[in-house]
Amino acid sequence: MTAKQITELHDLCLQINLLAVNKDNAPIVLYTLIGNSMYPQVGVSVRESGTSRKIMSFVVFIDEPVDKEYRMNFKKLNDIKKKFAGSYFGVVWAFVQPVITVLLYWFVFEKGLNSKATDLRTGIEIPFVLWLTAGLVPWFYFQEALNGGTGVLVEYSYLVKKVVFQIDMLPVVKMISALFTHLFFVAFTMVLFICMGYMPDWHALQVIYYSFCMILFATGLVYATSAVTVFFRDMKEVVGILLQIGMWVTPIMWNFETMVQIPGWAITVLKLNPMYYIVSGYRNALINHIGFWEDMGLTVYFWVVTAVILFLGTTVFKRLRPHFADVL
């Protein structure tokens, strides 16, 4: 069966949907992947009411595989390739841009402003670029996942409208896309530490734990912001502004724990930011050699906040999901 035939069949189902008495039983199109072939199964039923005969649903099983052209709905979910499609260097830009950002911040803060960084456990001064990179790497992931995930339903609106698709997976696509870049930069950071003579010890394994924490926290936010963006398109700009503010209050560029002019209550308030737990956790794992269990109060607080945000985010997404196709 060709892509055109499948498209026509699907459009027919959408027309039949207008005649359905109950939209919950409206025509559906499911695509079953069998081996390397994709087989569509279309379902619609018929219901008689008095003298009128209204179509509710019927079932058609097609034994022919769908041709490669129609698999575009699934191949287009390769978010990394799509993002840089048409550029000469392709996905290389996903890695070049953050590296340039790190170099610029390093030059401005260390060479220009003479910023210093120290190991909190030993008090020994360390290269500022290591301290900076350890904080920027998790922030890059959080920023990319939230920026990309917020507009994912609008970006892939054709999947939301045209096909009965597992819409819940769309935000996850952005999370996974950002994760590939994040893994590269974690490896890059490790190599940078080793090249500068700072060999990571077993505490560095906590990066896995903190990455998991960050993914769950970001997932809850992305489910909420992506759902709201369908109805309020300005949400993406709002998220962008909040991320700019968050970068400075987390903080990424400066260490408020070493600034005596900041009152204690202000430091406590800044620590309530869940991303502080992540960023300081990366630095504790790679630089300070401190375990997350050594500050159980902050750890418990982070997990309570993350659980609440994940619950609220998924709840908002589920409540708004039935209306996505109508708005998009």
CA distances to 72, 122, 321 from 246, in Å: 37, 29, 29
Answer yes or no: do 139 and 8 share one domain. no
Domain end, chosen from 26, 50, 73, is at 73
- Three-class secondary structure of residue 263 per DSSP: coil
Answer yes or no: do 162 and 253 share one domain. yes
pLDDT value at 134 more than 70: yes
CA torsion angle 317 323 327 328 (round to 10): 60
Within 10 Å of residue 283's Cβ, how many Cβ atoms? 23
Mean pLDDT estimate for the chain = 75
Answer yes or no: do 266 and 166 share one domain. yes
Give the pLDDT of residue 253: 81
Q: DSSP H helical segments within 79-205, as ranges? A: 79-83, 92-106, 128-150, 152-155, 157-162, 169-195
Give the pLDDT of residue 168: 85
Give the pLDDT of residue 303: 97
Which range of 45-49, 111-115, 167-171 scores highest in mean pLDDT? It is 167-171
Answer yes or no: do 194 and 67 share one domain. no
pLDDT digits (tens, 9 = 90+) for 297-319: 999 999 999 999 999 999 999 99
Answer yes or no: do 154 and 9 share one domain. no
Answer yes or no: do 69 and 10 share one domain. yes
Band of residue 146 on the pLDDT scale cut at 50, 70, 90: very high
Answer yes or no: do 258 and 247 share one domain. yes
Q: Pick from 181, 223, 198: which is nearest to 314 by CA?
A: 223
Give the pLDDT of residue 33: 39
Give the pLDDT of residue 62: 42
Answer yes or no: do 149 and 58 share one domain. no
- Three-class secondary structure of residue 125 per DSSP: strand
pLDDT digits (tens, 9 = 90+) for 61-112: 444 444 443 344 444 445 555 555 555 555 676 677 777 877 887 777 766 6
Q: How far apart are CA 239 and CA 143, in angstroms?
A: 9
Q: How far apart are CA 233 and CA 277, in angstroms?
A: 30
Answer yes or no: do 151 and 14 share one domain. no
> pTM score, two decimals?
0.71
Pick from 16-25, 131-140, 205-214, 227-236: least confident: 16-25
CA distances to 41, 73, 101, 140, 285 from 97, in Å: 44, 29, 6, 10, 25
Q: Which 8-state DSSP code applies to residue 91?
A: T
Answer yes or no: do 103 and 179 share one domain. yes
- Residue ranges making up the domain that contains 18: 3-73
Give the pLDDT of residue 95: 72
The domain tally of the chain equals 2
Pick from 73-87, 109-123, 229-243: least confident: 73-87
Give the pLDDT of residue 30: 41
With a pLDDT cut of 90, the percent of the chain lying above it is 32
Band of residue 159 on the pLDDT scale cut at 50, 70, 90: confident
Residue 26, C-beta contacts closer than 8 angstroms, at least 6 positions apart: 16, 17, 20, 57
Identify any residues that bridge with 53 across adjacent strands, giving them in sequence order: 48
Domain end, chosen from 36, 55, 73, is at 73
CB 279 within 8 A of CB 171: no
Answer yes or no: do 19 and 136 share one domain. no
CA distances to 59, 100, 128 from 113, in Å: 70, 18, 11
The amino acid at 76: K
Domain end, chosen from 48, 73, 98, is at 73
Within 10 Å of residue 163's Cβ, how many Cβ atoms? 17
Answer yes or no: do 67 and 90 share one domain. no
